[in-house]
Amino acid sequence: MNSTRHDEFRDYVAARGPVLLRAALQLTGDRAEAEDLLQAALAKTYLAWDRIQDRAAVDGYVRRAMVNTQISWWRRRKLDIYPTDELPDQPVDDHTRRSDLRDALGRALDRLPERQRLAVMLRYYEDMPEAEIAEALGVSVGTVKSTVSRAMAKLRDDAALEADFPNASHPRP
């Protein structure tokens, strides 16, 4: 791979890495495993970089590589798990509570006005810088900042979210 393609791949990883890491985290549920999964998928993508004609499809290629790798790892791990009469000493992660919180947050986002919801999604889910969001929405950077700020304030004060999770902390950015 020549240096131009190497630079192109490096720029892609720098730009899309945080978003892809969040996708890997959704697949694994563990930050360290997510980092390993993303690294494995990016290694596969790097090897196939010359064959990927449509650069707009690279995210899909990486995500598919992550899913395939995760399934492979899961199958391999499944063979290594043996039943036991002893319970583990470590507390079990409460996936149900995390899922309920994610659902409640999704409903709270749905209650935001469309422009605020879009700004929050682009900023925090897609990890886009404010300048890119401003360009995508056709507004100024200041408008993006104030829109995101108002949306976050509404989410913090959302009574329905508070009712679902009264003990959840609501950090202020």
Q: Six-digit token pair at 154? A: 């509404």
Q: How far apart are CA 32 and CA 47, in angstroms?
A: 23
pLDDT in tens, 89-126: 666 666 777 777 778 888 888 889 988 998 998 898 88
pLDDT band at 81 (very low <50, low <70, confident <90, very high): low
Residues in Cβ contact with 164 at an 8 Å cutoff, skipping those fewer than 6 apart: 100, 104
Closest Cα partner for 172 from 155, 158, 109, 128? 155
Model pTM score: 0.47
Q: What percentage of residues in the chain have a pLDDT greater than 90?
A: 36
The whole-number pLDDT of residue 172 equals: 43
Class for the domain spanning 3-80: mainly alpha
Q: What CATH number belongs to 95-164?
A: 1.10.10.10
Tokens 């409640």 correspond to what residue?
Answer: 104
pLDDT in tens, 9-21: 999 999 999 999 9
Q: Are 121 and 109 in contact (CB under 8 A)?
A: yes
Outline where 49-129 has alpha helix (H): 58-80, 95-110, 114-120
Domain with CATH 1.10.1740.10 in the chain: 3-80
| Residue 88 scores a pLDDT above 70 | no
